Amino acid sequence: MRKLIRCLYHNTIIRYILICPAKKLYVRLYYIYHFHLIPDKIFIKQKFKKAFNYDLNLNNPKTLNEKIQWLKLNDRTPLHTLCADKYAVREYVKEKIGEEHLIPLVYHTKKPTDIVPENLPDFPFIIKTNHDCSGGIIVRDKSKIDWKSVQKTLAKLLKQNYYYPSREWQYKNIKPRIIVEKLLMDKKGNIPFDYKLHCIERKVEMIQIDVNRGKPNHYRNWYNRYWKREPYRWSSLKKEGLTDPSNNDIEKPISLEKMIKLSEILSGNFYYVRVDWYNIEGRLFFGELTFHHDGGLRPILPTKWDRILGDLLKLPIKE
């Protein structure tokens, strides 16, 4: 009976009726309708129209953003769920390219109350959940952390299912878990650059480098596989504006060829996937696999590049 109640709570509209009792009824009803009752196709079309101000054509998608929406609806396999799970994907990476590319995992649990100093290391680490897109909680000195607050935050995250507000199906059936990894840092104690390699048709076509993540001066440069600057931008929203490219160039990493090779191995089962890496003094650490960059809801500018990049992705014929 407990398992049945738990299943109903986490996978049906019951949770949205019960939580946040202080909210007015129309707000709760909106959550129920918007996140649970609207069919995926209609939900995705509405989100796309709001983002781009034109109708999504799922019958004959042309741009990369349109084709990402098509993949959301039509490319759904158990492997997508496994690889979107930040805990389970470790076995996939280990099998494909070797465990030497995994960030050291120092602890994992399903209980927020287990996240206490005595269960955690004395060196810097990051706490995150395996089933959503949050950045995580960075801990450099565990003696300075309000652990009750951390537990409260994690408890809230564990109750969320990222599928409902995004309709990215791969997140729907992930079993929530808390994972704790060693914090990767360079010799100066800084968090390293974020290299994100976009693989289209199992080939690296775009390389995204995020610098100063979490800071007002966060910027994002774009390169091709030969480390030539690209003329487009595919920027995310941040508090201070957009993660537009900088005029500052970024030095080509020594391990670029290896990064490309490993990314293409990991992308072998997918039409489109973004493979994230951290580069610490030439050693590569796997970050995550992302199947729908920014939900396919951010413009690629100039707009012609959305079509140019979309032409690289040949979707399968749907029976």
Computed over every residue of the chain, the mean pLDDT equals: 91
Q: How far apart are CA 142 and CA 154, in angstroms?
A: 16
* pLDDT over threshold 80, residue 210: yes
Side chain identity, residue 164: Y
**Identity of the amino acid at 25:** L
Provide the residue ranges of all domains of the chain, joining segments of one domain with +: 1-37, 102-185
- Whether residue 12 has pLDDT greater than 60: no
Cα dihedral 173, 105, 115, 85 in deg (nearest 10): -10
pLDDT in tens, 245-292: 999 999 999 999 999 999 999 999 999 999 999 999 889 999 999 999
Higher pLDDT, 19 or 45: 45
Indicate if the pLDDT at residue 18 is higher than 60.
Answer: no
Q: Are 200 and 63 in contact (CB under 8 A)?
A: no
* Confidence (pTM): 0.88
pLDDT tens for residues 168-189? Answer: 999 999 999 999 999 999 888 8
Rounded distance, CA 50 to CA 43, Å?
11
29 pLDDT more than 60: no
DSSP state of 36: I
Question: By the 8 A CB rule, do 142 and 74 touch?
Answer: no
Alpha-carbon dihedral sign for residues 300, 79, 275, 177: positive
- Our separate counts of H helices and E strands in the chain read 11, 11
Task: Please tell me the number of Cα atoms within 13 Å of 138 on its side-chain side.
Answer: 10
Query: How far apart are the C-alpha atoms of 101 and 107, rounded to whole Å?
Result: 18
pLDDT in tens, 91-106: 999 999 999 999 999 9
Asked if pLDDT for residue 3 goes beyond 90, the answer is no
Question: In sequence order, which residues have a C-beta less than 8 Å from that of residue 126 and are 6 or more positions away?
Answer: 136, 137, 138, 139, 180, 181, 182, 183
- Average of pLDDT values for 225-242? 94
Residue 10 has pLDDT above 90, yes or no: no
